[in-house]
Structure 1
């Protein structure tokens, strides 16, 4: 597997987990004058992404619930319906590896050995306290709405917000299209009640590129 030719260096300087106002360059921005036009652009993205079954990303994650929080790295590898998510928290020197798919999930890196369960969200929350919506994350991180979602677009025709199951997912910066990938999210924030998940994607990769 080779990574898409997107450098993380510029983003690392400009996009901190604390948030900033600007994002990566946007050459060839698609312009949609109406919601219908924006939906056409989004449908075209969805079709391109549906053809890519093996993909991954590396990024930085910050999670908070009330007065509790944590941050670290997230490396995600997707192969068809199966995924491996490796989380590491440098401050606490903890790391976890979550493997999942239609058959359930296994969380490794815990005292007492691996834990298994049918609900990856609950498994991760019980073990780490992090309210990460794992089951929906593979869609959200790529800028795809899950069933029943309300979708909002910006003036430039890009996806701006998804609201579903009490979560609000905001797309704050985008990487330009590269190779087989269309424009992809670079900075995302998801909130529900007092829970907040922030993700900065440093690099996307696609099998065969």
Structure 2
């Protein structure tokens, strides 16, 4: 990662830190995990069945990303249509932003970087090379909805809370803690409100402000 790229990304998030998201960087560590069962409850089986019928979805929220000493905060807008995604991050104060798109047979493209867009075949690697941040983009599309990512790497561990909802998931070297949930409403199943994903010194903390399920 070049110093020029990092300075630009630092300006994007650090100079534009949101008042609502700034507290994420200093939030105390979550309390000790309370796992009540490691077998998938019937409620969770039913929730996943509903999610499988909703391939189009989106959310808006706030994210705090760090890797070692590098990190920052911003707004996140995630649009998903089947396997295709568009992920936008922005700092409203500075009006700077970047957008990652790909999936569904399309190449991965990262727009908004100084020097022009970058493209590749792996979204996570593209972000890591361009910004120094480790974000599991392909897996996060599943994890953010409270479900394991599909693929060759099976979950190493899954635990559920007293309500029968996911509490902790370990997959592909990442540990995902589900710290808060939105209750089901109007046919929409329960969905995560606050998530923390950690892999070594890489951490992604997410607060979802709004979920939308179904097509436009």
TM-score of the two chains, using structure 2 as the length reference = 0.78
Query: Of 130, 154, 174, which residue of structure 1 is paired with 2:181?
Result: 174
Structure 2 unaligned runs (5+)? 1-18, 31-35
**Equivalent pair of 2:56/2:215 in contact (CA under 8 Å):** no
Q: What is the CA deviation profile of residues 92-118 of structure 1, one whole-angstrom value per residue up to 9, with x for unaligned ones?
A: 653111111133311111122211110
Unmatched tracts of structure 1, length 5 or more = 1-11, 23-32
The counterpart of 2:160, out of the listed 137, 150, 153, is: 153
Paired with 2:187 and 2:123, the residues of 1 have a C-alpha distance of 29
Contact 2:183–2:191 (8 Å) recurs in 1: yes
RMSD: 2.6
From 128, 133, 144, give the equivalent of 2:147: 144
Deviations 1:137-182 (A, max 9, x none): 1100000012411211122322100001111000000001122320
Which is bigger in relative contact order (C-alpha 8 A, separation at least 6)? 1
Show structure 1 runs of 4+ deviating over 6 A.
none
State TM-score, norm by structure 1. 0.80
Change (3 A) 1:188 1:34: closer
| Stretch of structure 1 that moved more, 145-154 or 181-190 | 145-154
Partner residue in 1 for 2:7: none
> What is the count of residue pairs matched by the alignment?
187
